[in-house]
Amino acid sequence: MKFAGAAFAASILLAVTLIPALPVTGAADDPAQAAKLAIGVRSKARPFSYRLPARVIESDSTRGPLSRTGYGGYIVRICDAALSEMLIGPSGGGQHLRLEDIIVYDIDQQCYARPPADGREPQCEEVPDGVLNTPARSRFEALGTRFDILCDPATITNERRDVIVSPPLFLTGISYLSRRNQPALENPCGDSIPVAEDPDGQPKALGTNTSTGANEVAIAGKPALDGNRPNGDAAAAGTSSRKLALIGLVGGTNAQSRGIKALIDARELPLFEEQLVKYLRQQSGTLVPKDSPCGAKGELVHKYPNHEKAAKAFCDGIDFNYYVGDLEIIRTYAEAIPGCKFDNGIVTYTNDRYGIFGKAIGESTEVSGQPAPDGSGAQRPPPRQAGESPSADRKLLVARFFEIVAQKVVFNPSILDKAYNDTFPNQPQSRKLKLFYWAIRGERLPETELPTGNADQK
C-alpha cells in the first residue's frame, strides 16, 4: 500500500514537469496569477461542493482555506484537508504556503474570493475578462486558466486523462426521479402547457390537479387549464405555452450523454427508446435535422446551468417529467424543496468515480478551438496572449497537493471516511460504496493513538 502511494505521487511529479507550457496573462490583471495557488469550487453542486450559509461550520475538522472562504461538501472537505497540511509545513520545492497565497474561484458565480484571515465574510470579485458558458460545462475549460485544482464532483473519464487526477474518491451513478402520481405520458416531446407569467416573466405552476392528474397553471382570476390541452386552448385563455420535455438535466454533465444511454440500456423508459436513441445521435452529429426526435420546435431533453434551477423546475412540474443526474446530487436538491414528492432515485445505472483534477495555470496539452474534454462539443477558449509560462514553484505546489491527497486517501484511516461521515451523517453506505471504499483503503481501521513506552518491550 505504501509503495502504491509513493508510486502515484512520483507519477504526479513527472506528469507536472512534462506538460508543455502555454503563455498566460500578467499577474497584475489576473487574480489567479497573483496568487500562488488557485482552487476551483462550486456553489451549487450539493452535497459535494457548495456555498455554506453565512457563519456556518459543518465539520469539527480543522478549518482549511475553502471552509474559511465559505464552502463545504464531500469533495471540498478532502481538498481542504490537503490544503491545510500544505499550510503547516514546507510544500512543493520546500516553499512555505500561507493562507493569503491561496485564492478560490467559484465556478457557478464566476468570481474570485480569498480566505479571510480576520474572520470577516469573504467577498467575491468578478472575473476581469468576462464570464464563461454553462458552469458545469466550462469547468474543464477553466482548469489551467482560472484555477489550478478542481474541487468539484467531476467524473473520471478517458476524455479527461490529459490532466492530473487524484485516486477515485467516491462512487456514484446516474439515476432519475419522477414526480409522485405523475400521469402517464403519451408524447415524450409533450403537449404545450399553459403557463401564467409572473411580473418578472417567470412561469408559475400551481401543481397537479387531483381529479385529472394533469399539471396545471393559472392566471389570477382565471381557471387553471388542463396541461394536456392543445395550443389553441392556451391561446384562447390568454396564456403562453411551453413544451414539457421528457427529461431535464444539467448541461455539460455526465448525465447528458452516458446517463441517457445507460437508461436506454436498462430499458427504464422503453416507450421512448426510439426518440432517446435519435437524441443521442443528434448530439453526436450523426442525425440529419429532419429526423430530429421532436421536430424543429419540440424538445426531448431540457438542459439547465445548475441543479438548483433543474430541481426547482422538476418540483414545480413546468418544464420536464424525469430528472436525470448523479443519484446523491439530484436527491439532495429535490429533497431541499418543500413539498416536492418524488419516486425512484434508488438504483444507479452507471458506475461513476469522482476525482479531483489539476493543471497548473498556463499549462496546456491542447490547441484552442478544439472540443473541450467533457464531451459537450464546446470549443476551448483561446490561449492567453502575453506573459510567461507557469513557474516551477506553481507546478510543484500542484504536485504536492496531489501527493498529499493520495496519501490521505489510500492509507488507513482514510480521509474518505471522515468526509463521508461529515457530509452524510447517519446515512448508511450502499453495499457498492462499501466495497469501493474497501478497495481504495482496505478494511477500515479505527483511529488509534501511537503506542508509548519502550518499543523493545513485547
State residue 118's pLDDT score: 63
Whole-number Å distance between alpha carbons of 30 and 145: 10
In Å, how far are 25, 245, 336, 368, 378 from 333, measured between CA atoms? Answer: 38, 20, 5, 35, 26
- Positions of the chain with pLDDT lower than 50, given as ranges: 1-4, 9, 12-28, 191-240, 365-369, 373-388, 450, 455-458
State residue 124's pLDDT score: 80
Nine-digit cell string for 340? 416536492
Q: DSSP state, 290?
A: G
Whole-number Å distance between alpha carbons of 203 and 226: 16
State residue 407's pLDDT score: 95
Q: Any long-range contacts for 391-394 (C-beta under 8 Å, 24+ apart)?
A: 392/93, 393/36, 393/92, 393/93, 393/95, 394/36, 394/37, 394/148, 394/360, 394/361, 394/362
State the residue for C-alpha cell 417567470.
202
Using CB atoms within 10 Å of the CB of residue 59, give its burial: 0 to 12 exposed, 13 to 18 middle, 19+ buried.
middle
State the residue for C-alpha cell 423508459.
269
Longest dimension (CA), the chain: 92
In Å, how far are 96, 105, 114, 395 from 87, measured between CA atoms? Answer: 7, 19, 15, 17
Whole-number Å distance between alpha carbons of 61 and 58: 9
Whole-number Å distance between alpha carbons of 70 and 109: 13
Nearest to 40 by CA among 356, 290, 286, 309: 356
Domains of the chain: which residue ranges? 2-172+352-441, 175-344
Nearest to 406 by CA among 4, 5, 1, 3: 5
For residue 66, give the 3-state DSSP assignment: helix
Q: Which spans in 45-190 are helix H?
A: 65-69, 74-88, 135-142
Q: What are the backbone angles phi and psi of residue 291, rounded to the nearest 5°?
A: -95, 15
State residue 332's pLDDT score: 93
In Å, how far are 23, 28, 220, 280, 431 from 263, measured between CA atoms? Answer: 43, 49, 40, 12, 21
Whole-number Å distance between alpha carbons of 48 and 71: 10
CA 215 distance to own-chain centroid = 30
Dihedral over Cα of 85, 87, 89, 94: its sign: positive
In tens, the pLDDT along 57-71 reads 665 566 899 999 999
**Number of Cβ atoms within 10 Å of the Cβ of 245:** 22
State the residue for C-alpha cell 512534462.
18
CA 434 distance to own-chain centroid = 22
**Number of Cβ atoms within 10 Å of the Cβ of 80:** 27
Give CATH for domain 2-172+352-441: 3.40.190.10
DSSP sequence for 5-52: HHHHHHHHHHHHHHSPB-----GGG-HHHHSSEEEEE-SEETTTEEEP
